[in-house]
Amino acid sequence: MSPKQINVVGAVIDRGGRILCAQRGPNGSLGGMWEFPGGKIENGESPREALIREIDEELRCEVVVGEEVTTTSHEYDFGVVTLTTFWCELVAGTPTLTEHAEVRWLAPTELDQLEWAPADVPAVAIIGSA
Ligand SMILES: Nc1nc2c([nH]c(=O)n2[C@H]2C[C@H](O)[C@@H](COP(=O)(O)OP(=O)(O)OP(=O)(O)O)O2)c(=O)[nH]1
């Protein structure tokens, strides 16, 4: 059987040259790993619409979604995640933790200090060399 396909969007939120990094909660898939906030694209949504909705739900703030960073796929034991990341700007609200364990604002060159979800590693490399 072919693996389940999961389409996910992630926000690379830049504030004054620092990037918001979010740590997944300790339980569930990829517990404790770092990611870009976001989530699964729902039926009928564009990737950008999904990202605006997810950031409102997860961080209680509003972003403007800019250019795509990259799209890559990674096969996990639970399925294949195709992750599209976008540069984003915060336009309203202050990021508030609702489901993540922690957020950190890091310079692009510091991102590789964290343990990223495997699907994020190519995006992290692009951002670190941007
Ligand atoms: N949001 C987000 N998810 C990521 C990233 N990298 C990565 O592998 N993922 C994975 C984790 C999840 O399996 C999936 C995103 O779905 P989600 O954030 O809604 O995950 P979840 O596990 O909370 O979903 P669920 O249990 O409610 O179904 O993609 C990333 O940078 N951001």
pLDDT value of residue 126: 98
Determine if ligand 1 sits within 6 Å of the CB of residue 8: yes
How many domains is the chain built from?
1
> 44 is in which domain, residue-wise?
5-128
Amino acid at the residue 111? L
Helix (H) or strand (E) holding 89: strand 79-92
Classify residue 116 by burial, with Cβ atoms within 10 Å: 0-12, 13-18, 19+.
buried
Q: For residue 1, is pLDDT > 90?
A: no
What is the position in ligand 1's atom list of the atom closest to the CA of 28?
22
Q: Whose CA is nearest to atom 17 of ligand 1?
A: 39
pTM given for the model: 0.96
pLDDT digits over 12-58, tens only?
Answer: 999 999 999 999 999 999 999 999 999 999 999 999 999 999 999 99
Determine if ligand 1 sits within 6 Å of the CB of residue 39: yes
Provide the ipTM: 0.94
Q: Is the four-CA dihedral 30, 68, 94, 56 of positive or negative sign?
A: negative
pLDDT digits over 55-80, tens only?
Answer: 999 999 999 999 999 999 999 999 99
CATH of the domain at 63: 3.90.79.10
Determine if ligand 1 sits within 6 Å of the CB of residue 120: yes
Name residues whose C-beta falls within 8 Å of residue 26's C-beta, 6 or more positions apart in sequence: 32, 101
